[in-house]
Amino acid sequence: MKKLLALLLAVLMVLSLTACGGAKKDEAPEATDAPEATEAPADDAADAEAPADDAADAEAPADDAEAPADDAEAPADDAEAPADDAADAEAPADEDAGLAPKDGGTELTFTTGGSAGTYYAFGGVMASKIGEVTSTTVTPITSDGSKANIEALEMGDANIAFVQSDVMSYGYNGERLFEEAYADFSTVAAMYMEQVQIVTLDPEIKTVADLEGKSVSIGAAGSGVYFNALDVLGAYDLTEDDIKAEFKSFDESTEALQDGSIDAAFIVAGAPTNAVTALAATNDVYLVSLDDEHIDKLTESSPYYSKNVISKDAYGLEEDATTVAIGAVVIANDDVSDADVYNFLYGVFENLDNLAHDKAKELSLEFASSVTSVPYHPGAVAYFADKGIEVPAK
C-alpha cells in the first residue's frame, strides 16, 4: 500500500514538472517579443534624438556666431586701411623732402666771374642742369668778381651771383670794399671752399716772404682777391708797397706769368682752376705754401679764413700745397621768387651726380646750409626745410 502511494506521488510530481515546463515554453515567445517591446522606446529614443538634430540646428547660431567673427575680421582689414593711408601719407613726405621742382619759374641772370675762373665754368654747368630739370632758366655771365657781382645785383643787372664769403659780408655790412651797405640780397647756398693760390713759375719763390720786391698780380681792381692778397701779405708783415702790385684778372695773370712780365699771382678760386690748369699744361707750375705759424696769425685776425691743403694732383705738383681758403657762396636779390631759388637748389643738389664739373664732388647740404653772416632767402629756407635742415631766415 505504501509502495502504491509512493508511486502515485511520483507520477503526480512528473506531471507537475511537465506542466511547468510547458508553461515556460509558452512564455518563450513573449520573452522574444519583449525585446521588440523594448525597441519601441528605442524608436522613441530615436525620436528623442530629434532634439539632438535640433541641437544640431542649434549649432546654426554657432555658425552665425562665426559670422560676427568674420565680420570682426573686417574691422581688422579696415584697420589696415589706416596703415595704407599712413603709407599714402608718406607720399607728401617725399615731396616735402625737396624731390619736386616748383612750377612758375622765370629767367634769371647769374653773374659769376672771369671767363677762365671756376665761378664761370661751374656756374655754367649748374645753370644748364637747372634749366634742364626745372621751370627756371638761368643764364650765366662773366664779371670782374665778387664786388662787381654785388654791385650788379644792386643795379638790377643780375638776379643771382657767385661771391666770396668775406666779400659778401663786406657788402652786406658796408665794410672795406663797400662805402655803403647793400642788404637787399640773401644767401642761397654755400657751395665749396675757394683756396688762396699763389701761383708762380719761379722755383726760387718758396714762401710769401720771398714775394717782397717781386712783381705780383693781386687780382682785378676792386675784387675780393685784392683783399685776400693784402690779408696774406699782412700775416707776413708785408704791405702792398712791399711788392710791385699788378691788378689783373685770372686769365690776364696766367698770360703775364707765361710771358714773364710778372713773378707771381694771387688767384682765389676752387682748385683746380681752369686758368692755372691751362698754364700747367705747358709749364712747370709752383704753388707757394703758407706755414702754420702765419696761418694761425691770419685766422686770428680774419676768422673767415681756414687752413686748406691743395692736392699735388690738382696741377701735377711735386708736393701738396698748404694755404688758406674762404667759402664760395651763391646769393640772390630779395625780389627773386621763392620758386626760382628753390629750383636753383633743386637743380643743383638733387643732381650732384650729373653735374659735369669737379667742384660738384665738394658740394654738400651740410656746407650749403652753414652760412651765418647773411640770412637765407625764403626759397632757400623752404628747400632746406624740405631736406630737414633749419637755416637762419631773413
The dihedrals phi and psi of 33, each to the nearest 5 degrees, come to -70, -25
Q: What is the reported pLDDT for 233?
A: 97
Question: What is the CB neighbour count within 10 angstroms for residue 14?
Answer: 10
Q: What is the reported pLDDT for 221?
A: 72
Higher-confidence position of 276 and 177: 276
**What does the pLDDT look like over 234-263, one tens digit per residue?**
999 999 999 999 999 888 999 999 999 999
Q: Please check whether residue 164 is in contact with residue 147, taking contact to mean a CB–CB distance below 8 angstroms.
A: no
**What does the pLDDT look like over 61-71, one tens digit per residue?**
434 434 444 44
The H or E element spanning position 308 is: strand 306-310
Handedness of CA 173, 176, 180, 183 (dihedral sign): negative
Q: Partners of 333 in the beta sheet? A: 185
**What does the pLDDT look like over 26-66, one tens digit per residue?**
444 443 443 343 343 434 433 434 344 443 343 444 344 34
State mean pLDDT over 330-351.
98
The H or E element spanning position 83 is: helix 50-94
Higher-confidence position of 270 and 67: 270
Q: Please check whether residue 158 is in contact with residue 111, taking contact to mean a CB–CB distance below 8 angstroms.
A: yes
DSSP strand pairing (306-310 vs 321-333): antiparallel
Q: Is the pLDDT of residue 178 over 60?
A: yes
Give the CA count within 13 Å in the CB-facing half-sphere of 379: 26
